[in-house]
Structures are given as C-alpha cells and as structure tokens.
Structure 1
Amino acid sequence: MNAVVSASELDAVLGPVVTALTAAGDALRERFDPAARPTDLDNLVRAIHANDEAILPILARPLLAARAGSRLAEDELAGGSLPPGEWWVVDTAEGNINHIHGMSEWAVTAALVSDNVPVLAAVYVPLTGDVYTAVRGGGAWLNGEPLRVSAKTELTAALVGTGQAKPGEEPEALRRMGASVTDMLTSALVVRVSVPATMQLIHVAAGRMDAFWQFSDVRSGLLPGALLVAEAGGAVTDTEGRPWSLASADFLAAAPDLHAQVVDVLN
C-alpha cells in the first residue's frame, strides 16, 4: 500500500466515489438515445463535447471534496506520469463514441492516483447498474461480489482483445496495432477489437476475457481497469512484460498463466 494513503482512508472514500459515479452515470443514461445516429463529424464532435460538459460537474465536485488537496487530471486523452500528490483521473463517458451512436458499451469511471500509484478505481455501467470497484490491496469487486481473472493456461483457448485508444493515432501506432491483431489471430482462439478499453478490461478482471493490450498510454482508459485486473489476480505490465506504470508507453493485462504467451506473440 502506498504510505500516503491508508487502507482505512481508501475504504472511507469508496462510498462517496460510488455515489458520485452513480449520479453522473444516471445523468448520462438520461442523455442516451438508442436511436441516435450522428450524420457527420461536426455533429458527432458536438455530441461528444455536450456529454462531457454535462457530466463533468456532477462527477468532479464530490470527488475533489472526498480527498482534501486532491486535483483533477482534466485532459482525459492525456498520458504519462502526473505531478506528485493525489489526482483523480476520470472519464465522464468512457465509450462516448458508442453512447452517441446508440450503442450500449459505455460507462463512467474514476481512479485515484497517489504519487503515480493507482490506489482506488470504480466503474459504473448505467445500462446494467453494475458497479466495479477496487482498492489497492483490497481485491476487486462487482456489486459487492469478488472478481477473479481467468484460470486458462492455453492461449489457443483464449478470448483476447485490443482497440484504438483515441481518434487521430499516429500511423505507426495503427500499423503496430494491426500487425498485433494479425499475429494474435493466428495464436489465440478469438480476437476482439473494440472500444473503449475499460469495457474490455472489466471483462478481463471478471474472467470473461483472458487478455487485453493497447499500444497507448491514455490514462483514463487504462487506470481503472489496470487496478481492477491487478486486484483480481491478473498480470498488468507493458507489452514486453515489464511492470506497468503511468510512464509506460503501452499496456497489457492478462490472466497470469497466459501472460507470458501473450507477451511472446506481441513481441
């Protein structure tokens, strides 16, 4: 446990975090239209920004109040290490692109980072009412029931996934992602390519999927799922198998008995 934040402090914060996420997620659900079909890029971008602007005040204020002196990492597409101290990394509509197209894979997320160590994470899926939570050293949970990663040992039996981190990725990053999908298609049972990252990582934490990788360092998409998977017993590293941190350039979360096999394929 990070010495800055005790287990009892984190447990006390978790309730207000879930309350804030639930309020934000319920507001986002009120904005959801299964019949939505953006007609062009301008319309699409306006809808994305409108969601963010409507939900951020609902989420940010109670989170900042829950930890005196904490700050909000405002750019949800940013990556890399944060300055010292406590930071909330949130996504007001993780899977916003799905939300505004009338699709169901979206959520509201929050992670507390203390001196660049993720210590608390929560994900609320409004369409199902599911709440995923993790506190560093305290396990991972879905609606109060413990989560455990997959027990699979053979990559040939594995359901794995990846996806684009954000629009406008560098061509080299996209080529690398495409090549990794091709390599994994010949090694794993099934490869899922979708967005957002969190909606795949909660499946890895719950043992429904076996691995997820991404050639990206976008904090908001990786932090909540990284802590959930780690606390559910999974391996969280970069794609070369080194311990993952906010300074890492890429990301891998996998069932422990499959981790080395996935690393071999990705390299």
Structure 2
Amino acid sequence: MNLLSEITAIVQTAGPLLIDRFSADARPADADAILAAIHANDDAVLALIKEPLLAAVPGSGWVEDELEGGDLPPGEWWIVDPVEGNINHIHGMTDWSVTATLVRGNEPVLTVVHLPLTGDTYTALAGEGAFLNGRPLTVSAKTSLAAALVATGQAKPGESAETFQQIGRSMTAMLTSSLVVQASVPATLRLIQVAAGRMDAFWQYSDVRSGLLAGALLVREAGGTVTDLTGKSWTLTSPNFLAAAPTIHQAALDALTKCD
C-alpha cells in the first residue's frame, strides 16, 4: 500500500465514529456546552487516528494546536483537524470533515479530506494532482469575476476587530464584483469546491494553518492559483489567503485589494 492510500484508510476510519456521534437534532445550549462537545469530538477522533498517522511516517511530528499559524521546525509534520467544521457537527449541520495534511519543509505534500456523511474523499499529492474518490479534479474555467461564485469566512472565534472590519469590507467589494458571495465555515469545505471547479474563489484574513493547508494543496494540484492578498505565493507565514481559478485570480485580487 502506498503512503497516500495508507493515510486515506486511516482518515476514513474516523467516519463511522463521527457519524455515530452526529445528530441532526443536536442543539448545544450555551458556550460551555459547545466547547465540551467540540473537545469530546476532537478527543474521540484523535484517539483513533493520531498514532496510526505518526506511525505511517516514522519521525514525523504532530502539531497540537490546530489554530496556530506560522512556520514549522524542520522535518515532517502532521497538521490534522479531527473534525474540520466541528461547530457545524455539534449543531446538527452537515458541513464537516476529517482532514490530515503532511507538511515537509513548510510545504504541504500530501492531504486527505474525508466527508463521512457523503463518503467522499478528496486527496492530493504534491506534483501528482488532486482527486475526488480517485477522479481527477480541475478548477473552474470561468474568465469573468462577474459570473463567479466566491466565498470567505472567519478562521476562528475571537478574531480582532480589524480582521472583522476587513472581512466586512471585502465582502462588500465582492458583492459588487462577483455573482454570489458565501460566508461560512469551515474553509476546507469551500476550498474543495474551488478545487472541484464548483466555486471559483475563496479568500480569508488568517494564518491559521489547519483550515488552509489541505485546501491550498488541493487547489494548487487542481490547477488553481494560491497566493496572499498581495499576489505573492501563499506560505505558512502569509497573513491572508486567496485561492482561485487562474482565469479570475487577478480580478479577484484586484477587487479585494481595492477594499483595504
């Protein structure tokens, strides 16, 4: 079994567990209940997949805080979100997944995004393409931002007032420049749509690694363009993020930079 197949199988083992823990009727009553449910989900999944992932890549490290940003030390590291979109899972909504991304030299080199409710699995290897259930993915061929479906969202609770203001200004700019704007979480579930060509662009004011790495690799490998909001290639130290079909990337960049 090759490494991608092995990692895919490990990530998919979390599917039945999360489906069993999922209820469409879930309605946590307050912030304490929300945090307790989120931590319980995370702990349950990590108990299942953490050790197998580490064993699959001997010597690899594990990033404990999924909300961290910035460069990693030398070597290979796992960036894992045990329930990407956990807030949706515990409120009975369907937009959630399990993600595992291997980072080498501060570049994502392998990723698996599994959606247990649909059974879909998105995978990518650096230099070898992006796939949905083994079928190649290709980004949108649209050439007009005016016809584009675009999306953004906050990276985590408690962002700064400045970040919230940037998000608001950017949404206004895109509402006047594109066809439809979505604002939702998690980022990964918007980025898989960009990689699949169903959506055309996603941007975010954030350096949170776990929500962006998997989607960044998928979009790049599907032929998309991934930069920061100055147009430079996106890295783990970039303060913001834009992934788009190459045919509308510059137009999206222009619209977003005018709002700052």
Q: TM-score with structure 2 length normalisation?
A: 0.98
Residue 206 of structure 2 corresponds to residue 216 of structure 1: yes
Give 5+ residue unaligned stretches, structure 2: none
The residue identity in structure 2 corresponding to 1:174 is F
Task: Note if contact 1:16-1:62 (Cα within 8 Å) is conserved in structure 2.
Answer: no
CA distance in 2, matches of 1:175, 1:251: 16
RMSD: 0.8
Query: In 2, Cα distance between the equivalents of 1:156 and 1:238?
Result: 21
Which amino acid counterpart does residue 214 of structure 2 have in structure 1?
Answer: P
For residue 258 of structure 1, give the secondary structure of its aligned residue in structure 2: helix
Percent identity at matched positions?
61
Aligned length: 257
1:241 counterpart (226, 231, 234): 231
Runs of 4+ in 1 over 6 A off after TM superposition: none
Which residue, out of 241, 244, 260, partners 1:251? 241
- Stretches of structure 1 that go unaligned for 5 or more consecutive residues are 1-10
Q: Aligned partner of 1:234: which letter?
A: G
1:219-242 CA distance string (max 9 Å, x none): 110000000000000000001211
Q: Please say if residues 157 and 189 of structure 1, whose CA atoms lie closer than 8 Å, have aligned partners that are also in contact.
A: yes
* Residue of structure 1 in register with 2:141 after alignment: 151
Looking at structure 1, the residues matched to 114 and 59 of structure 2 have their Cα atoms a distance apart, in angstroms, of 25
Question: 1:25 offset after TM fit, Å?
Answer: 2.4
In structure 2, what is the equivalent of residue 54 of structure 1?
44
Aligned partners of 1:85, 1:36: CA distance in 2, in Å?
Answer: 40
Higher mean C-alpha deviation, range 130-139 or range 19-28: 19-28
Q: Secondary structure at the match of 1:257?
A: helix
SS in 2 for 1:167: coil
Q: Residue 6 of structure 1 corresponds to which residue in structure 2?
A: none
- Counterpart of 1:183? 173
Look up the SS of the partner of 2:103 in the other structure: strand
Cα offset, 1:37, TM superposition: 0.5
1:109 to 68, 88, 99: 99
- Normalising by structure 1, what TM-score? 0.95
Tell me, in whole angstroms, the C-alpha distance in 2 between the residues paired with 1:40 and 1:129. 31
The whole-number CA distance in structure 2 between the counterparts of 1:156 and 1:134 is: 29
Residue 15 of structure 1: CA displacement? 1.2
The amino acid that maps onto 2:158 is G
Write the letter of the residue equivalent to 2:170.
S
Pairing of 1:120-199 with structure 2 (within 5 A): 120-199=110-189
- Give SS of 1:35's match: coil
Separation in 1, partners of 2:86, 2:98: 10
Shift of 1:26: 2.1
Could you tell me how far apart the structure 1 residues matched to 2:16 and 2:52 are? 15
Correspondence 1:38-117 to 2 at 5 A: 38-117=28-107
CA shift at 1:115, angstroms?
Answer: 1.1
Q: Is the partner of 2:2 in helix, strand or coil?
A: helix
The CA deviation string for residues 197-218 of structure 1, in whole angstroms up to 9 with x for no partner, is: 0000000000000000000011
